[in-house]
Structure 1
């Protein structure tokens, strides 16, 4: 980055905007902004803090010094082609990584760049590390140099830690007539104790490793600052009525799937295959890989191809494909979902990181449009969308729907969710609970009106219901774990009530709320109606994201009180 900026500042015809397609490394834009006077250097200490503008992935609408919003791999190279076509007298530089180069979009962009001899220069961090491991182990045969040369790029390999060699390679690429790539061969995190060259360097690192690194270099002030931050006050999590111990539903998905596999014979397990897109730890599949490696495929950063492979596996008699990634990336595989449905496959999908809760990576990683998966016509093959409210319900959902045919989608959050407790204080979805697809579930009875919710908003709504009960106001609460199926009996019951409020953290424009009101009207019901969901771009932070969307318990309670008095 410094070399490219220096060459540009020295008069080289290089486009002024900074394009970076890598993962969290793209946060280099923040350091560049500080170096070039775009933001105060001390602001860098507030990375990911609410309101700081320094999201986990840079976003243009948060800071003026950001040239390119990143966060979804494979979305920069094609963009850069367009910039190059619009700026034919300048070289357009894109910073990339070997992980992001796995995306199919990059192959398409490379072919277009070569076909039009575009003046694009890719500078790629080729460090052989992604979140899930080492590409040369889980994706043998993927050779970035041969791949780019096959597309027609001129390739300039260099030692990424040798600045002189790097300068020579970058100058060579800039002088080349047409598309060129510099491959920076290096270990990730050189010199960081215990972590150099390991996947543990993805984004944040441990305090222990940071202290050892800083101490070895004599950065006493930085060490003191770490101690000051660590020793600062930590606000306790709010106590919500009706909530028990917390657990990670996204991890429970994998644990439950492993439990299902454990109950199968070895021959039966051969007919199940889970495909990971470099996020196994985040989506719960690590336990499957560790316990049943014969049922696991590490497919790299290739969501579209991996979903189709899982679907193809599930198209064969008696076979079940499993696919998992983040909910934000569901938008990347809509066409693949449609064609898989037309091919009548048996495919179980887990999309974690739904909604906005604890999403410090910000808007690019918000999982908002999960209902896009339910994109077929009424008369076609059914599609089921499930969003469990706690780890117990996740376990029940996975075990119940695993043997079902067709496409099934299970959603979870990044944040941990507390147990939903019954009126006696026991887990509502604990011993004796059986999940029934398509059936809405009453969490609390009520006669003044009803809240309908699911997933990460259910426990927040339960707190409101319990709070109102202390005032003698009886508002009911319904959990709708099957999102896209009408429970006719429940709809009749709720439709006769004074009001209904749908509360969710998915996109208010595409979520349950816009459907539930239509279902009521189609059946002749017209209670007072409202729906709440995500309505704003993110503003960094973690727990603050829910409040930023005006979905905190106090916000929902205020809306309930409005409906009570309307």
Structure 2
């Protein structure tokens, strides 16, 4: 079931966590983490993702692969707020000895299904897990979050060919289409658009949504779950740095930590009273 107000507030808290973690660490990737907050909040905090924080290695759980691993802060916040580990640990991001490094490492924190960092690999990993789940007779599914800039990697297209050929309807790819990467606009650097027609040619079920509209996202997740015979990809139109005005649509904030003044402004915009 969907409680839209609850998901909106959860996404706002995730954004506060992201900004606080990166400010405290003095480094990190806020832009793409902030743009994905609504997508992950709607996935993890509704009935669209099957998991159990009390039993994180449950065999028939759904799996999540963060292919764009540099946006680890959004996943760390989601897992903490979902109950996999204490939220206080979020402040250890990128510290020596911390379980929360700049890119996710499997085996460090519960609820983390895959190490990631090198772009372009996540969908291949998701395919492998999904293929094995089908062979085992499990109805669990595998969700994979990619960035649109990441689609410039050739391995993504190899994976895009594999999933439909093997009928992996238990794979859900979610693309954060914010059109901004490290050095500028995706469409200026190596244009991957239009995307829907490309993926349809590869025989995927394709859905387009506003990546900050909770009801649209939820409806897309529901539609993906009932689609049989082929995988689904959701193209979510997002704003890089969403929720923090000076970060929005700016390549500068792909991998820059806010200073004290910028942090205060961000938190005020995210509803924290000074």
Question: Which TM class, normalised by the smaller chain length?
Answer: 0.7 to 0.9
Q: Deviations over 1:258-311 (max 9, x none)?
A: xxxxxxxxxxxxxxxxxxxxxxxxxxxxxxxxxxxxxxxxxxxxxxxxxxxxxx
Q: Relative contact order: is structure 1 or structure 2 higher (C-alpha 8 Å, sep ≥ 6)?
A: 2
* CA deviation after TM superposition for structure 1 residue 141, in Å: 5.7
Residue equivalent to 2:167: 117
* CA deviation after TM superposition for structure 1 residue 15, in Å: 4.3
* CA deviation after TM superposition for structure 1 residue 45, in Å: 1.2
Residue equivalent to 1:60: 106
* CA deviation after TM superposition for structure 1 residue 109, in Å: 0.7
Q: Matches of 2:130 and 2:252 in 1, distance apart?
A: 35
Residue equivalent to 1:8: 49
In the alignment, structure 1 residue 202 sits paired with structure 2 residue 235: no
Q: Matches of 2:192 and 2:159 in 1, distance apart?
A: 21
Q: 1:168 to 1:213 in 2, by over 3 A?
A: same
Give the secondary-structure state (helix, strand or coil) at the position aligned to 1:189: coil
Q: 1:191 to 1:217 in 2, by over 3 A?
A: closer
Cα contact 1:122–1:182 (8 A) shared by 2: yes
Q: Matches of 1:183 and 1:165 in 2, distance apart?
A: 11
Unaligned runs of 5+ in 1: 224-566
* CA deviation after TM superposition for structure 1 residue 79, in Å: 1.1
Q: Matches of 2:80 and 2:270 in 1, distance apart?
A: 23
Give the secondary-structure state (helix, strand or coil) at the position aligned to 1:117: coil
Cα contact 2:244–2:269 (8 A) shared by 1: no
Q: Matches of 1:4 and 1:106 in 2, distance apart?
A: 22
Q: 1:10 to 1:82 in 2, by over 3 A?
A: closer
Matched ranges for 1:152-163 at <5 A = 152-163=203-214
* CA deviation after TM superposition for structure 1 residue 139, in Å: 2.2
Matched ranges for 1:547-566 at <5 A = none
In the alignment, structure 1 residue 91 sits paired with structure 2 residue 141: yes
* CA deviation after TM superposition for structure 1 residue 8, in Å: 3.2
Q: 1:192 to 1:95 in 2, by over 3 A?
A: same
Q: Deviations over 1:107-161 (max 9, x none)?
A: 0111111111112110111110110110112224642222212211111000001
Matched ranges for 1:147-546 at <5 A = 147-177=198-228, 178-207=230-259, 208-220=261-273
Q: 1:127 to 1:141 in 2, by over 3 A?
A: closer
Give the secondary-structure state (helix, strand or coil) at the position aligned to 1:187: coil
* CA deviation after TM superposition for structure 1 residue 210, in Å: 2.3
* CA deviation after TM superposition for structure 1 residue 169, in Å: 1.3
Q: Deviations over 1:357-378 (max 9, x none)?
A: xxxxxxxxxxxxxxxxxxxxxx
* CA deviation after TM superposition for structure 1 residue 215, in Å: 2.4
In the superposition, the TM-score normalised over structure 2's length comes to: 0.73
Q: Deviations over 1:204-230 (max 9, x none)?
A: 43223322121244524xx6xxxxxxx
Q: 1:30 to 1:198 in 2, by over 3 A?
A: same
Q: Matches of 2:199 and 2:129 in 1, distance apart?
A: 20
Q: Deviations over 1:66-117 (max 9, x none)?
A: 2211111111111111111111223221111112222111101111111111
Unaligned runs of 5+ in 2: 1-39, 53-59
Cα contact 1:123–1:182 (8 A) shared by 2: yes
Residue equivalent to 1:82: 128
Cα contact 1:98–1:127 (8 A) shared by 2: yes
In the superposition, the TM-score normalised over structure 1's length comes to: 0.37
In the alignment, structure 1 residue 107 sits paired with structure 2 residue 146: no
Q: Deviations over 1:531-565 (max 9, x none)?
A: xxxxxxxxxxxxxxxxxxxxxxxxxxxxxxxxxxx
Q: Matches of 1:199 and 1:182 in 2, distance apart?
A: 23
Aligned residues: 220
Indicate the structure with greater strand content.
1
Give the secondary-structure state (helix, strand or coil) at the position aligned to 1:194: helix
Farther off after superposition, 22-31 or 41-50: 22-31
Q: Matches of 2:91 and 2:192 in 1, distance apart?
A: 40
Q: Matches of 1:163 and 1:51 in 2, distance apart?
A: 36
Q: 1:213 to 1:170 in 2, by over 3 A?
A: same
Q: Deviations over 1:23-67 (max 9, x none)?
A: 422332211221232221011112111111111111114323422
Farther off after superposition, 14-23 or 171-180: 14-23
Cα contact 2:206–2:234 (8 A) shared by 1: yes
Q: Deviations over 1:149-202 (max 9, x none)?
A: 221111100000110011111211221111110111011112313220111222
Task: Please give the root-mean-square deviation of Cα atoms over the aligned residues, in Å.
Answer: 2.3
